Amino acid sequence: MWAYVSTLSVHKDGATPEECEDAAGVVPVIESDEPTDGAVSVAVSDGASESLLAGPWARLLVESTVEAVRAKPEVLHSDSGFARVVLDAVDDWDEWLAAYIAGREAEDRPIKWYEQPGLDRGAYATLLAFHLTDVGLWHAAALGDSCLFQVRSDRLLRAFPVETAVALGTSPALLNSRNRNEGLIASKAGLANGDYEEGDQFFLGTDAIAHWFLSEVEQDDCPWEVLRDLSAIGSQEAFAKWVADERASGRMKNDDVTLVHVDLG
């Protein structure tokens, strides 16, 4: 099965691109206009704006997760497997954080008093992991409100882990960079799987675009059409303009937006 994979992202209005706290990772690494033949692993994460170092934690989570899923796709078959992937990222984070603090000291910018409580609490982010096998099946695991949508024959076949727009609030479940409670993480993780056919579309997105997507579906619209077109264009600028228009109309909240489109058409 051939798949085209594209990633589009735009930061929150009023922030800088460097302040974007969404992250997405795909393996294998391919250009959006080049098809890949074989398994595809994707991870999407949304750092919580009220936590410190949420962006770096989200990036580390997706990098660690896509590599873990690529090496062993079965980790997405059980909540305990997913939890162990997270714990590996937590281990990596300790090392990253020690280097970060040392770097701040070296730059003569030691940690300020108002940062310390946030560092003590840890960074927070959602995580959605997805694996497309080369034998017609897909698996996903999630914690939080980053969402996966499967579209077939011009209708929404599956929404995971959130199924309604109203369920997307400002207090999603989040992975903390200091949380080593494997049982707790496993108990809060959601799992999903299914099959796929030629022509299917998968969309993975963070909460702002997920909310927009589900709202459109609830109004009997077909949000995948415009997303498929934007994905085909493959231009970050065109995507940013479309997001700006949706924000201005009030249809999309002002937040970092990340979309990964896996096109089996």
User: For another protein, which residue of 78, 80, 133, 179 counts as binding (CB under 8 A)?
Assistant: 179
User: For another protein, which residue of 7, 41, 51, 150 counts as binding (CB under 8 A)?
Assistant: 51
- CB 158 to another protein: min, Å: 25
Cα angle value 131/137/143 (rounded, 5°): 40
- CB 78 to another protein: min, Å: 18
C-alpha span between 194 and 113 (Å, rounded): 49
Q: How far is CA 20 from CA 24, 34, 89, 264, in A?
A: 11, 27, 20, 29
- Choose the binding region for another protein from 88-96, 177-185, 193-201, 257-265 (rule: CB under 8 A): 177-185
> Crossing angle for the helix pair 236-248 and 223-233, nearest 10 degrees?
150
Q: Is 115 in the site for another protein (CB under 8 A)?
A: yes
Q: How far is CA 137 from CA 47, 133, 264, in A?
A: 29, 5, 13
- CB 112 to another protein: min, Å: 8
Site for another protein in 12-41 (CB under 8 A): 13-15, 19
- CB 96 to another protein: min, Å: 13
Q: Tokens 């170092």 — which residue?
A: 53
- Choose the binding region for another protein from 23-31, 66-74, 115-123, 156-164 (rule: CB under 8 A): 115-123
Category of 35 on φ-ψ map: left (φ > 0), alpha (ψ -120 to 50) or beta = beta
| Inter-residue contact 182 to 90 (CB < 8 Å) | no
User: For another protein, which residue of 64, 176, 201, 231 counts as binding (CB under 8 A)?
Assistant: 176
φ/ψ of residue 106, rounded to 5: -65, -30
φ/ψ of residue 114, rounded to 5: -80, -10
Q: Is 46 in the site for another protein (CB under 8 A)?
A: yes
Closer CB to another protein, 153 or 171, in the complex: 171
- CB 170 to another protein: min, Å: 6
Q: Which residues bind to another protein, rule: CB under 8 A?
A: 13-15, 19, 46, 48-53, 112-118, 121, 124, 170-176, 179, 181, 184-185, 188, 207, 254-255
